[in-house]
Structure 1
């Protein structure tokens, strides 16, 4: 691919962030992006007991923002065998 011939990014569908304080982060993202919270919790794949996510939708532009909280990963090295 030569410079300038790559695919163009024309918009965003979704963003996902892991946050340390879900309640404060929800308030901030709702206020800054005028996002609305979706009435559901999304479990983390393979860490269902230790974390979950909350979804927000930005009505004017459409992207979905996922905010995730987990107690199952405290800076673990996920490249080590046996860790999920």
Structure 2
């Protein structure tokens, strides 16, 4: 049986993907969507129009994507190794 990282190869791949790559991908996705993706395209994808209450919800969603969600992902990522 092949081993890597002191584990069977399938277990090593599972560890790599679920504990490292998925959190990294989620962090990259939240930062990309919060900072790089255009607001107009995001509103179009979410099927939001220019109504005031939907604008408020969009601003809350954008704030969460930019600041809160990356912090939560980093905290969970660090906590899983403690």
Report if TM-score (shorter chain) is over 0.5.
no
Query: How would you bin the TM-score normalised by the shorter chain?
Result: under 0.3
What TM-score results when the alignment is normalised by the length of structure 1?
0.27
Select the structure that is richer in strand: 1
Q: Which has the higher contact order (CA 8 A, sep 6+)?
A: 2
Identify the structure with the greater helix proportion: 2
